[in-house]
Amino acid sequence: MSKSYRPDHRGSVFRFFWPLTSYLVTHGTVIFGAIFFFLLNRTTVIGRSNVPRSRNTLLISNHQSLIDSFFVGFACYFGPSFVKPYLIPWNPAGEEFFYQNAWQSWWSDQWKCIPVRRRRRDLSALNRMLHALKSGTMILFPEGTRTRTGDIEKGRPGAGVVILKDRPTVIPVTIDGMNDVLPIDARWPRVFKRVYIVFGKPIDYTALLTDDASREASQQIVDHVMEVVKAQMDWIQELKAGRADRRNPPWT
pLDDT per residue as tens digits for the range 136-147: 999 999 998 898
pTM: 0.94
User: Is residue 143 one of the residues assigned to a domain?
Assistant: yes
User: Is residue 5 one of the residues assigned to a domain?
Assistant: no
Please state, in angstroms and rounded to a whole number, the distance separating the CA atoms of residues 153 and 140.
14
User: Is residue 167 one of the residues assigned to a domain?
Assistant: yes
The CATH number given to whatever domain includes residue 47 is 3.40.1130.10
Q: In this predicted model, which residue has the larger pLDDT, 218 or 9?
A: 218
Q: In this predicted model, which residue has the larger pLDDT, 94 or 230?
A: 230
User: Is residue 203 one of the residues assigned to a domain?
Assistant: yes
Class of residue 133 by CB neighbours under 10 A (exposed 0-12, middle 13-18, buried 19+): buried
pLDDT at 1 over 50: no
Q: Among 52-56, 233-237, 242-246, which stretch is predicted with the lowest mean pLDDT?
A: 242-246
Q: What percent of the chain has pLDDT over 70?
A: 98
Tell me: the pLDDT tens digits for 18-51? 999 999 999 999 889 999 999 999 999 999 999 9
pLDDT at 3: 62
Rounded to the nearest 10 degrees, the angle between the axes of helix 68-77 and helix 12-35 is 80
Please state, in angstroms and rounded to a whole number, the distance separating the CA atoms of residues 158 and 163.
9
What residue numbers bound the domain in which 65 lies? 12-240
Tell me: the pLDDT tens digits for 45-96? 999 999 999 999 999 999 999 999 999 999 999 999 999 999 999 999 988 8
User: Is residue 252 one of the residues assigned to a domain?
Assistant: no
68 and 183 in contact (C-beta within 8 Å)? no
pLDDT at 248 over 80: yes
User: Is residue 229 one of the residues assigned to a domain?
Assistant: yes
In this structure, what are the phi and psi dihedrals at residue 172, rounded to the nearest 5 degrees?
Answer: -80, 130
Domain count, the chain: 1
User: Is residue 249 one of the residues assigned to a domain?
Assistant: no
115 and 132 in contact (C-beta within 8 Å)? no
User: Is residue 233 one of the residues assigned to a domain?
Assistant: yes
Please state, in angstroms and rounded to a whole number, the distance separating the CA atoms of residues 62 and 58.
13
How does the average pLDDT of the chain come out, rounded? 92
- For the residues 163-185, what does the mean pLDDT come to? 96
CA torsion sign for 238, 249, 225, 172 is: positive
